[in-house]
Chain A
Amino acid sequence: MNIIVCIKQVPDAKDVRLDPKTNTLAREGVESIMNPFDRHALEEGVRLKETHGGQVTALSMGPPQAESVLREAISCGADQGVLVSDRAFAGADTWATSYTLRKAIEASGEFDLILCGKQAIDGDTAQVGPGLAGQMKLPFVTCVQKIRNLDDGIIQVERMMDDGFDVLELPVPALLTVVKDINDPRVPSLKGKMKAKKATIKILSAADIGAEEQCIGLAGSPTRVVNVFTPAPRGDRKMFTGSLEEQVDQLVDQLRSYL
């Protein structure tokens, strides 16, 4: 069972500030962490390895300092870390990110399962997982809250829904994106930390993964940020109290008053 876990380094959400001029996230001086959902993806990968054997590879696209999340991944049980890093990747949107991750995975050999977080807490699109699966023509399920079984090349999962969950089966190789309910991630171990300190993180450039210039970075990103703004406040809210009938009456009165 060889598992690839896609991990994004994100600014610590405890410390989010917007640049007042550009309205984008101020990244200067903000501490970087492993995307919280990806910690759960990693934990699930490590648990699968512990029961089924195999290797867990942590993969990230990002600037050189993203190496630190890969070391953290090793301290939590990943066997190795691969960082795809190149100035040419700068400005990638979710499409170009998915393409780049696909090329990196194809350059890295055989795998049975790709695990992603449901979404990154900064970009927040939840597109990279499905985008990557689409690019690789892999079956995928998003928002997985439980892996029920893995047997004979079939993986059975629970997908979280608003009103319960779906049970789905898919053949491996496959891609799953996970929600936080899937597990309670372990704390990095002491031996893991020592291993991580010594580990060599493999760094792949655009050339190493054979990425085409027009598909990566800004050039490969069809998304255009037309405008970033803070939505205007939605106006006053009013809470009705009392019995259900009373609340309905109050609501009707309120609505009438607008007519």
Chain B
Amino acid sequence: MDYLLSEEEQMIKDTAREITEEKIIPLRAELDEKNEFPTVILEDMAKADLFSIFVPEEYGGLGGGCFEIVLALEELARGCVGVATSFAASALGIFPVLIAGNEEMKQKYMPDIASGKRWAAFGLTEANAGSDASGIQTTAVLDGDEWVLNGTKQWITNGGESQIYTIIALTDPSKGARGASIFVVEDGDPGFSYGKKEDKMGIRSSATRELILKDCRIPKDRLVGRKGTGFITVMKTLDISRPGIASLGVGLGQAALDEAVVYAKQRVQFGKPIISFQAVQHMLADMATQLEAARSLVYAAARHIDANPKNMSKPSSMCKVFATDMAMKVTTDAVQVLGGYGYMKEYPVEKMMRDAKILQIYEGTNQIQRNVIGQELNKEYI
């Protein structure tokens, strides 16, 4: 379907596609196998200006928003969700600065983000605080001109690989969620180190690591926005970033559909290409239909969010749920269409199915997204 993209939007999509075809697809199986972070590919993305798409022009960016990120991530995910996740997590990590940071802070970090010289990561989750983020125990205490942070963040994408970390910590534990604030911690800050590196089912080229803050001292001006407004910024950050995760589902679903159709045309059983069997055709038809519906919803939600409406949570959650559930189903069906070959590592759909699962889990599980949609509905109908 033609989504009537502007020339600049099309350019972003094309550039991400070129990165996928020339840089990601040739390497993806090896990165997956070796659990290796795609540093070189991120550098290629930087040279292609992809990191600049969501950065305002005054900081050297191209001034796009959620929609531009969606376009880029969709194409990158066609190649590898692990690589695309590393890109997405960097955007996620810097959003708090973009949303709540002061001018000085933006001047300090955004130009490096735009040029791809530095990457970011988002540190919210802890061992005892997943879906219930208000359960975090990391603390930040002001000591003279410095904040002192203590705690351990878990499963942080780009951990150990990026240079800028936004860390959510309690500045006033007695106030619970209202006592949280966000800080920028940089690689090399005293008391900041990296812990366990995870060995994952899928998106194995992305780095998922523990962040350890042990009397980590950072200058006072690393506080992002006002003290105590951390969770408001976190919620807004996730509202803006979730369509990106949804678009990973769209890109992945497209890749799986492409593989399935090409294979179905070639594979002959009972003297005919398997695509001539109605049962296979119907499976492909459902995959294609769900995929296109997801793409339409994600694009619409992203454009809605870029218009900066008061309420963006519902469309943001709806597109995340729909597109990532679609990706899980479509990749599973793609393996089915390829039969036993689909289950083998020689064919890319095996990896695609493993990669799909995370999309239903991170940046808020799909159960949590449904909770959000339900709560919004409850508010809307008086």
Q: Is there contact, CB below 8 Å, between A190 and B53?
A: yes
| Alpha-carbon distance A194/B48, docked complex (angstroms) | 12
**Is B19 among interface residues, defined by CB-CB distance under 8 A?**
yes
Check A250 for interface membership: any CB of B closer than 8 A: no
Contact yes or no, B44 A189, CB < 8 A: no
Give the shortest distance, in Å, between A13 (CB) and chain B (any CB). 16
Whether B11 and A187, one on each chain, are in contact in the complex, defined by CB atoms closer than 8 angstroms, is no
Shortest CB-to-CB span from B29 to chain A, Å, is 18
Which residues 125-160 of B sit at the A interface, judged by CB distance below 8 A? none
Digit string of A180-205 for contact with B (CB within 8 Å is 1, else 0)? 00000011111111100000000000
In the complex, A135→B206 CA distance in Å?
Answer: 52
Query: Known: A193-B11, A193-B15. Contact between A187 and B44, CB under 8 A?
Result: yes
Q: A36: shortest Cβ distance to chain B, in Å? A: 12
Q: How far is the CA of A192 from the CA of B49 in the complex (A)?
A: 9
* CA–CA, A30 and B11, complex, Å: 23
Asked if B186 is at the interface of the complex by the 8 Å CB criterion, the answer is: no
Greatest chain A CB density within 10 A among B18, B44, B49 is at B49
* B residues 14-57 touching A (CB-CB < 8 Å): 15, 18-19, 22-23, 44, 47-50, 52-53
Report how many residues on chain B are interfacial, defined by Cβ distance under 8 Å. 15
Q: Which of A187, A188, A190 contacts B52 (CB 8 A)?
A: A190
For B49, list chain A residues within 8 Å (CB): 189-192
Q: Are A187 and B23 in contact (CB under 8 A)?
A: yes
CB distance from B244 to the nearest CB of A (A): 18
The listed residue with most B CB atoms (<10 A of its CB), out of A186, A190, A193, A194, is A190
Q: Is the interface of B mostly helix, strand, loop or mixed?
A: helix
0/1 per residue, B89-100, Cβ < 8 Å to A?
A: 000000000000
Q: Which residues of A contact B15 (CB under 8 A)?
A: 187-190, 193
Distance (whole angstroms) from the CB of A172 to the closest CB of chain B: 26
> What's the tally of chain A residues with a CB closer than 8 Å to chain B?
9
Task: Determine how close the nearest CB of chain A comes to the CB of B195; give it in whole angstroms.
Answer: 34
Q: Assess the A190–B47 pair: CB atoms within 8 A.
A: no
B45 to chain A, nearest CB (A): 8
Contacts of B44 in A (CB 8 A): 186-187
Residues of chain A within 8 A (CB-CB) of B19 are: 187
Q: Tell me the minimal C-beta distance from A88 to chain B in angstroms.
A: 36
Chain A nearest CB from B265 CB (Å) reads: 19
| Measured CA separation A256–B137 after assembly (Å) | 86
**A residues less than 8 Å from B47 (CB atoms):** 186-187, 189
* Central interface residue in A187, A188, A189, A194, by most chain B CB within 10 Å: A187
Encode contact with A along B52-66: 1 for CB under 8 Å, 0 otherwise.
110000000010000
Residues 337-375 of B, flagged 1 when their CB comes within 8 A of A and 0 if not, give 000000000000000000000000000000000000000
B50 (CB) vs chain A CBs: closest residue: A190
* Cβ A190 vs Cβ B22 within 8 A: no
Known A186-B48, A187-B23, A190-B48; 19 more pairs at CB < 8 Å: A187-B18, A187-B22, A187-B47, A188-B48, A189-B15, A189-B47, A189-B48, A189-B49, A190-B11, A190-B12, A190-B15, A190-B49, A190-B50, A190-B52, A190-B62, A191-B49, A191-B62, A192-B49, A193-B11
Provide a sorted-by-A list of 12 A–B residue pairs whose CB atoms are within 8 angstroms: A186-B44, A187-B22, A187-B48, A189-B47, A190-B11, A190-B12, A190-B15, A190-B50, A190-B53, A191-B49, A191-B62, A193-B11
